[in-house]
Copies of this chain bind each other. A is one copy, B any other.
């Protein structure tokens, strides 16, 4: 509203607000050649977008929009990328060259390129069938005890290893999407679905000899989690996967991997502000109802998505806190427990009433991974998480029916040497196992700590590896809980990959039993029996 007058002043104001007033363009905006811009864009997507967002508005990491980065300037940005920060950002001088760091520092001072959308039609075109469903084998062809197989992420190789838990033989390494975050199974444990960081979802058949990928499709450019429908008449009918970008979830046919339905998760967060890049973190099937829980990270909401009628899709948008990450169920399979890591909280939902039921302040940045449940002598049934931000195990009551006074309240906390990612236990062991890969010191990040459920104290520390640039992480049990498998991730670049291994411990004696060698960057492991039977 400058030299002219039109309409009511109310409307003038509205239009002024609506489009924003004229914005200044910096005369000295940094620039890159087209080739350098494309390179920086790719590096940013691979290594930075996960924390800072495809649109650079920030999430786990800070906002990297030009108004913020231009203030810091080229030199300071290069230093931050090179050395990392106190706030938790890694150093990148072992991953990027000096030239690449310089390009990235310039790139993040320029206007972020607008990320592309992906339509259902695009996704449908991406379907690849390697084995037709009518050609699926009718029984396990290898005669092995496949219910004790381990499905193992070989992260940086973009593969999954299938390992025989009885014999410790590596049966196959199958190609999947890049940097798989997680894999989920059909209700009988035969088929396993992976989701890559590149949004590719693959379906693996454990009955083939050797186990093999039978179908794939792509549902996003960046993604983190996947789940299968397990309830009632919809058992093993649908697969759902969540996108980081585009921010949405996609329901596909679990047989053919054909995408069927896309639902955007862009929305208004629990503070009332619109978030375009509202990403899907964790997704789980809810055993007590025909639905999945979908954690929409930046919104601070868990959406319970009912799969009983895709054309009249029912969703409960359950408010909690930001930013949601990963979660697990209580032993009754009724309550969903998930970390809101930016709020230093665990959040609790009743998936039968489809409502938020509680919130617990934990240590700094809780991260349960697949989580741990057991029964404490004083508190009754409990759940537990480790933390990315500090060396601590937080244990809470999770039995509101039997122990209402303890429910969603801290039972106790036990300190560990270093911050970690994965806490695990099993009904057949008296111990709780916690890794510590987020600690900067090699001797700690290469060790796991073991807590006694009875005394609540750390009773042993095991150095899993002492190889340079290797870290120990993620425990998983064999079917009867007599063994704990821990990954050793050799991080010294591609030439070092094959030095990765899995170390197997006896869960009674805590002695080493075996080493499974020649595994490229193993991370998460999934035992068929334990996952099918929800053993956490």
Contact = CB atoms under 8 A, between A and B. Distances in A.
- Complex copy number for this chain: 2
Nearest to A7: B46
A155 to B, nearest CB: 12
Contacts of A45: 11, 14-15, 18-19
Nearest to A21: B38
Q: Which of A8, A37, A262 has the most CB of B within 10 A?
A: A8
B221 A20 contact: no
- Could you tell me the dominant secondary structure of chain A's interface residues? mixed
Given A10-B178, A248-B268, A314 B314 contact: yes
A496 B38 CA distance: 60
A315 B309 CA distance: 13
Contacts of A262: 268, 272, 274
A184 interface: no
A158 B263 contact: no
Interface stretch (A75-83, A111-119, A335-343, A369-377): A111-119
Given A17-B116, A221-B17, A6 B312 contact: no
Given A11-B198, A39-B4, A41-B19, A264 B266 contact: yes
A480 to B, nearest CB: 38
A46 B54 CA distance: 34
Interface in A26-75: 34-35, 37-39, 41-43, 45-46, 54
A494 to B, nearest CB: 11
Interface in A256-300: 261-264, 266-268, 271-274
A113 B19 CA distance: 6
Contacts of A319: 311-313
A355 B34 CA distance: 51
Contacts of A221: 14-15, 17-18
A120 interface: yes
Interface in A490-536: none
A355 B39 contact: no
A355 B309 contact: yes
B264 A274 contact: yes
Contacts of A317: 263, 312-315
Interface string A103-134: 00000000001111111110100000000000
A199 B20 contact: no
B315 A117 contact: no
Contacts of A8: 158, 178
Contacts of A117: 273-274
A88 interface: no
A523 B218 CA distance: 51
A48 to B, nearest CB: 12
Given A313-B316, A315-B314, A11 B267 contact: no
A18 B54 contact: yes
B14 A356 contact: no
A271 B117 CA distance: 14
Contacts of A197: 11
Nearest to A20: B116
Contacts of A34: 2, 22
Nearest to A112: B19
Nearest to A318: B312
B312 A38 contact: no
B42 A1 contact: yes
A164 interface: no
A200 interface: yes
Interface in A225-262: 245-246, 248, 261-262
Nearest to A37: B22
Given A10-B177, A19-B41, A266-B267, 15 more contacts: A6-B46, A7-B42, A8-B178, A11-B45, A11-B178, A12-B42, A14-B45, A20-B113, A117-B274, A119-B271, A264-B268, A312-B319, A312-B355, A313-B319, A314-B315
Of all A-B residue pairs in the complex, the 4 with the closest CB atoms, nearest first, are A120-B272, A18-B221, A14-B198, A262-B268
10 contacts: A1-B38, A6-B39, A10-B200, A18-B222, A120-B271, A248-B274, A262-B272, A312-B354, A313-B317, A314-B354
Interface of A: 1-4, 6-8, 10-12, 14-15, 17-20, 22, 34-35, 37-39, 41-43, 45-46, 54, 113-121, 123, 158, 177-178, 197-200, 218, 221-222, 245-246, 248, 261-264, 266-268, 271-274, 309, 311-319, 354-356
